[in-house]
Amino acid sequence: MATERRSETHPGIDSYGRVNRDVLKLLSVPGRAYRILFACVLVVLAWGIFAFGTQVVLGIGMSGLNNPVSWGLYITTFVFWVGIAHSGTLISAILYLFRARWRQSIYRVAEAMTVFAVLTAGLFPIIHLGRPWVFYYLLPYPNQRLIWPNFRGPLLWDVFAVGTYLTVSTVFFFVGMIPDVAAARDATTVTWRKKLYTVLAFGWRGTNTEWKHFNRAYLYLAALATPLVLSVHSVVSWDFAVSIVPGWHTTIFAPYFVAGAIFSGLAMVMTIVIPIRKIFGLEAYFTPRHFDMMSKLVLLTGMVVFYAYLTEYFIAWYSVETPERYAFWNRAFGEYWWATWIMLTCNGIIPQLLWSKKIRTNIAAIFTITIFINIGMWFERFVIIVTSLTREYEPWQWRPYMPSWVEMSILAGSFAWFFMWFLLFLRILPGVSVAELKEVLPAPIRRLSGRRIQTGEASP
C-alpha cells in the first residue's frame, strides 16, 4: 500500500519519476521572476565591481580603514563567507560518513553554497590588499630571484587553507553530481546544455562497475573533505590568534571559529533553502524534518559558540592583563557596544528558541531565526576584528573605524556575486541529488497486473 511504500525521510515523494520530473524541471527555461532577480543581482554586482575599481585606481584609502584599524569590513566579510562555506562540507561529507539519511535532498544545495561561498570569500583577501595587482607575491611560484613567501606567516597558511578547501569542495561537488548530470544530459534537448552535461557527466552510463567506483570515490572524497571542515577555519582563526592583539591572541580561537562556522553555515543553508523550497515547489524534498534536524545542529553549535564567548570574557578577567581586560570591557561597553550586543543577542540568545520543537518545525520561525544568526555571525567577526584593533596597547593610537561607501558596496557586491552563482547553479545543474534521493525512496515495483505503477524512464 501506498503509505507503507513511503520514504521515511521524504514522505512527500512517492516515486522515482517524480524525483526526475521535479529536479529536472528546475533546469527548464527560467521565468520572468527569475530573470528580474538575476538582473538585480547583476546590477548590485556591477556596482560592487565599480566600487572595487575606484579602490584599485585611487587606493585602498577609499575604504574607512585607518592607522590602528588596518583590517575592517573586508576581513570581516572574508571570515563570514569562509564560515558560510563550512556547512556544505559538513552536510555532504560528515553527515554522509555518519550515514545521516536525511541529508540526501539538501546536500547538493549546501555543497553548492560551499563552493560559491569559498569563491566569494577568496576574493576578499585580494580586495583588501593595498596593492592587489601584485597578489601573486603570496603564491610560492618559482622565480629567478629565489624569493619565496613567508611560510611562518598565517596569511600564507590562509592562502593554502582556502585554496585547498576550494579545490576539494569543488571536486567533491562535481564528482557527486555525475549521475545526476548524466540524467540531465539524457533528458535535455538544448544543445549547449547537452554539451555541458556531456562534459560534466564524464561519460556516465550507470553501469554497475561505474556505480561501484563512484560510491568508493565519493566515500574517499568525503573522508578527505571532512578534516578540511576543521582545518580551514582553524587556519583562518590563526590569522588572528597568532597575533599579539588583545582580543585576538587566544588559544580558544580554532574550535571557537569552527563551531561558529558550522553554526553560521547551517543557518545560511536554511536561509537559502526555505525560499527555494517555496518558490520551486520542493516542499516534499525539504521537509520540516530536515529543518528540525538542522535546527538541532544549529542549537548545538550555537551553544558552543556562546560558551566560547563566555570563556573569552572569563579568561580576559582571569588574565589580570590590563590590555586584555580592557579589550573585552571595550567590546561590551566601548564605542562598539551595539555591535557586541547584536552579536550576543543574535548568536547567544535567539537560538535558544530552538529548544522548542514547535519552533523547530515552524518554517517561518526558523527562517527568521536563521536570518538573525547570519547577522549575528557577521557581527561576531566585526566585533573581533574591529573593536580589538581600535584600542590596542598604545592609547595614543586609539581610533574608531567606520566603513566607507566603497566597503559597503563591495560587501553588497559580494552577496550579489554569491547569489549570481547560486542562481546560475539552480538553473543549470541539478539542485537536488536525484541519485541519492532515489536511494532512500522505495524501489519501484510492478503491480500484480504486470503494469508498472511508475515509469522509471530515466535510469540513472
Q: Contact positions toward other proteins, by CB under 8 A? A: 58-61, 63-71, 125, 128-132, 134-135, 137-138, 147-150, 152-156, 159, 239, 242-245, 322-323, 326, 389, 392-399
What are the b/e assignments for 253-286, b being 16+ CB within 10 Å? bbbbbbbbbbbbbbbbbbbbbbebbeebebebbb
CB of 71 to other proteins, least distance (A): 6
Q: Which amino acid type is present at position 132?
A: P
Give the Cα separation of 294 and 395 in Å (integer).
45
**DSSP code, position 393:** S
CB of 49 to other proteins, least distance (A): 19
CB of 80 to other proteins, least distance (A): 18
CB of 335 to other proteins, least distance (A): 11
CB of 342 to other proteins, least distance (A): 23
Q: Report the Cα 80 to chain-centroid distance in Å.
A: 9
CB of 393 to other proteins, least distance (A): 4
* 3-state secondary structure at position 155: helix
CB of 330 to other proteins, least distance (A): 10
Q: Which is nearer to other proteins, 251 or 397 (CB)?
A: 397
Q: Are 359 and 365 in contact (CB under 8 A)?
A: yes
Q: Which is nearer to other proteins, 159 or 166 (CB)?
A: 159
Q: Which is nearer to other proteins, 60 or 184 (CB)?
A: 60
Q: Which is nearer to other proteins, 1 or 147 (CB)?
A: 147
What lies within 8 Å, CB to CB, of 115 at 6+ separation is: 85, 88, 166, 169, 170, 173, 421
Dig out the grid coordinates for 304 from the structure. Answer: 558552543
Q: Are 332 and 310 in contact (CB under 8 A)?
A: no
CB of 156 to other proteins, least distance (A): 4
Q: Which is nearer to other proteins, 154 or 444 (CB)?
A: 154
Give the Cα separation of 340 and 332 in Å (integer).
6
Q: Taking the CB of residue 44, how many other CB atoms lie within 10 A of it?
A: 19
Give the Cα separation of 292 and 82 in Å (integer).
25
Q: What sections of 320-430 are H helices per DSSP?
A: 322-333, 337-343, 357-360, 363-382, 388-390, 405-428
Q: Which is nearer to other proteins, 59 or 281 (CB)?
A: 59
Q: Which is nearer to other proteins, 65 or 254 (CB)?
A: 65
Q: Which is nearer to other proteins, 180 or 392 (CB)?
A: 392
What are the DSSP calls for 234-249, one per residue? HHHHHHHHTS--TTT-
